[in-house]
Structure 1
Amino acid sequence: MRATRDWFGDALAAVGTSHDKVVVVNCDLASATKTSVFKERFPDRFLEVGIAEANGIGVAAGLAQEGFRPFVASFGHFLTGKFLEIFQSVGLNDAGVVLVGTHAGLAIGKDGPTQMGLRDLALMRTLPNLEILQPADGVETRQMLAYLVGHDRPSYLRLCRQPQREVHDEHYRFRFGQPDVVRDGADVVVFTMGGMVAVVLDAAEALAGRGVRATVVNASSLPLDTAAAGDLVARHEHVFVVEDHFVKGGLIDEVGRIVLHRGRPVRFGSWGVGDYGQAGSPADLYRRYDLDAEGVASRIAAFLHLSTPDTVKGSQP
């Protein structure tokens, strides 16, 4: 198993071979963001700006305006923390920058909330011309990179630190905005993305032992296609969203708006990070926040009234 940041590093170097306008703007984190692979292969197309994300965003926006396809990489928390520069230089100018935010969610572990990418989706979703992508595995990462170098729109690529198994095979084809059904069911549809896809699949398997048939949807790119996501909602009486992000502003809000616009009553539930995050080992943090397979299964079970809140593992932080 590998993290999506590892798959990204290899895929970026691969597309760099056939796309000579691809350049990297790095913020002193080449080893952590895995842009070091690109640097080794294309040193003349690798720009180091140091610990200066605001400057990196400006440099990348300028390169985009000159016809390059720049990837500016840093921890998601640091990169989107320069939202003013993203808004002004990338968004308003419709500059074809790919913002690469790594270490999404709780998995940065002991470094704690000052470095956790937990509110990046909420910020990036406010920009009307920016696309958001978060792959679930290596297959999807490679296909997303091919997609990103095929156009020049502003984009945010969200990547994880934790190792993840492959959930797709060679037949998978990424289509922007299209919900990807990775498990079919009937009782509840669960939307998730990125590092949580495999976790939710494991939770769905546990729920199957209790007679619950869960549909699991990999919502790997935003904005979601409203009609396609709405059709999935229409097939189920219960809709649940799980994300490794704050409970406000991210995928929960994206799916919630679609549910509301359908105009058909369904039961809607969600689970995410309800505070600023804590410091600890990744395993301990995902267990504490009920974002491991056992915790997710218990939250969905409680939502479906298969158990009472008192018997649900853990509690909302």
Structure 2
Amino acid sequence: MKATRDWFGESLADLAAEHEDIVVVNCDLASATKTAAFRARFPHRFFEVGIAEANAVGVAAGLAQEGLRPFVASFGHFLTGKYLEIFQSVGLNDAGVVLVGTHAGLAIGKDGPTQMGLRDVALMRTLPNVEILHPVDGVETREMMRHVVGHRRPTYLRLCRQPQREVHDPRHRFVPGAPDVLHAGRDVVVFSMGGPVGVVLDALDTLAARGITPTVVNVSSLPVDAAALGDIVDAHRRVFVIEDHYVRGGLADEIARIVLDRGHRVAFRAWGVPDYGQAGDPRDLYARYRLDRDGVVHHLTSFADADLATAPR
């Protein structure tokens, strides 16, 4: 098991050997963001700007406009905190920058909410030309990296700190925007991205013992294919979204909009982080916010037990 930030670092260095236009703009976090391997192999293509994310975004936008494919790496909380610079320099200019935000969600633990990437998806969703990618494992990370170096659109790559097990077969191929069905079930469909996906899969045996067999869908890229996602929703009576992010503005909002636009008559619930977050051991935090396996079992059991007799049809 590895964190997706580790898979990113390895993939970046390997792909840079094939793509001479790849450069890195770093914010004094090469070890944490796993860009150190790139620096060791390609020091002349590694630009250190220090603890200055706003400057890094501007430098990267300029490099992109000169035909390079720059990766700006920092904690997701810090990087998207420079939203104005991203909006002005990357978004408006349609600059081909890959914004790499690591340490997504609660897993940074004791460093607390001043460093937790909990509102980054909400911010990046507001930019109409920015692709958001959040891989669930090593296979998908490598596939996404190959995808990213193959185009020049602005991209936000969201990465986790915690180790995550492989959920894909090595032959899996990433398709941008396609909802990725990892487990077929009935009645309730669970949509998630990144770290919580594996947690939901780990809860399946316990849920099955209670007579609950959810469909599990990995939504690893936004914007998602609305038609494909709508077809999945059509086959279920209940939709549940769980994300390691603020409950407002993230994946749940994206899916709710699709459900409403299509006129689906389903019961809909979402769960995420309802406050600013806390500092503590990551395991304690995930338990506190009911984003661990026991929390998933609790949410889906209560949802399955809910009376839908009065729900609109």
Asked if Structure 1 and Structure 2 have the same fold, meaning a TM-score greater than 0.5 normalized by the shorter chain, the answer is yes
Partner residue in 1 for 2:175: 175
Partner residue in 1 for 2:310: none
Maintained 8 Å contact 2:200/2:296: yes
Aligned length, in residue pairs: 307
Q: How far apart are 1:202 and its partner, in Å?
A: 1.3
Partner residue in 2 for 1:278: 278
Partner residue in 2 for 1:203: 203
* SS of 1:304 mapped into structure 2: helix
Partner residue in 2 for 1:80: 80
* SS of 1:18 mapped into structure 2: coil
* SS of 2:47 mapped into structure 1: strand
Partner residue in 2 for 1:146: 146
* SS of 2:198 mapped into structure 1: helix
Q: How far apart are 1:306 and its partner, in Å?
A: 6.5
Distance 2:228 2:282 in 1: 34
Letter in 2 for 1:261: D
Letter in 2 for 1:16: A
Partner residue in 2 for 1:313: none
Maintained 8 Å contact 2:212/2:304: no
Letter in 1 for 2:135: P
Letter in 2 for 1:253: D
Matches within 5 A, 1:1-317: 1-305=1-305
Distance 1:205 1:226 in 2: 30
List per-residue Cα deviations over 1:202-222 (Å, max 9, x = no partner): 123321111111000000000
List per-residue Cα deviations over 1:234-276 (Å, max 9, x = no partner): 0101100000000000000011011101212100011100000
Distance 1:171 1:41 in 2: 28
Distance 1:255 1:169 in 2: 26
List per-residue Cα deviations over 1:36-56 (Å, max 9, x = no partner): 010011111000000000000
* SS of 1:47 mapped into structure 2: strand
Letter in 2 for 1:267: A
List per-residue Cα deviations over 1:80-130 (Å, max 9, x = no partner): 000000000000000000000000000000000000000000000000000
Ranges of 4+ aligned residues in structure 1 off by more than 2 Å = none
Identity percentage of aligned residues: 71
Question: Which ranges in structure 1 are unaligned for 5 or more consecutive residues?
Answer: 308-317
Letter in 1 for 2:26: N
Distance 1:206 1:96 in 2: 44
TM-score, scaled relative to structure 2:
0.97
Letter in 1 for 2:301: A
TM-score, scaled relative to structure 1:
0.96
* SS of 1:165 mapped into structure 2: coil
* SS of 1:107 mapped into structure 2: helix
Distance 1:237 1:115 in 2: 38
Quick check: 164-173 or 58-67, which moved more? 164-173
Distance 1:281 1:264 in 2: 40
* SS of 1:85 mapped into structure 2: helix
Question: Which ranges in structure 2 are unaligned for 5 or more consecutive residues?
Answer: 308-313
Quick check: 258-267 or 27-36, which moved more? 258-267
Letter in 2 for 1:241: V
Distance 1:299 1:274 in 2: 15
